[in-house]
Amino acid sequence: MQRSLEIDPGKCTGCLQCEMACSYELEGAFNPAHSRIKVFTFHDEGRYVPYTCTQCDEAWCMQACPVDAIVLNPETGSKDIINDRCVGCKVCTIACPFGTVNYNTSSGKVIKCDLCGGDPQCVEACPTSAITYVDANATGLDRMRQWAAKTDTQPATA
């Protein structure tokens, strides 16, 4: 069963525990600058929205990589970066329409969410359950795609 992150911004308090857990798990240090999940702050509204790689089916980052350093993990469905292959060209950062592939200046490589190998630490750290790891079919993505694919734009007749 494929699983995916589901984010409920209405539950996010902006505590940044997800960023801290992510950076510690993947970099060994509490450094939000190296986190694969970010919390965007809407200052005027006083709201917070966590965002990270959505593991797109199209995976433009993966398609754009000239050295095939981004590969599909068949167990988790994540698009993982093979560090030994990555040359740090940043083409994938440009290709990602969501800005969730980032360049790590320390390593000279790109970083993105890999779902922590199937045990996402951002989920474990979130005290309000704003981030959950659910059956991919439960996210409603297929329903959204079906709705977007409808071509019948004519109003219903009574």
Equal CATH topology for 1-52+117-145 and 56-112:
yes
Long-range contacts of 80-86 (CB under 8 A, 24+ apart): 80/114, 81/109, 81/110, 81/111, 81/112, 81/114, 83/107, 83/109, 86/110
- Residues 54-71 have pLDDT tens digits of 999 889 999 999 999 999
Please tell me the distance from the alpha carbon of residue 39 to that of residue 154, in angstroms, as a whole number. 39
Range 1-52+117-145 classified under CATH 2.70.50.30: no
DSSP class of 39:
E
Which CATH code, of 4.10.93.10, 3.30.70.20, 3.10.450.50, 3.40.190.10, is assigned to 56-112? 3.30.70.20
Domain boundaries, the chain: 1-52+117-145, 56-112
Q: What is the pLDDT of residues 13-57, one digit of tens each?
A: 999 999 999 999 999 999 999 999 999 999 898 899 999 999 998
Question: pLDDT tens, 81-135?
Answer: 999 999 999 999 999 999 999 999 989 999 999 999 999 999 999 999 999 999 8
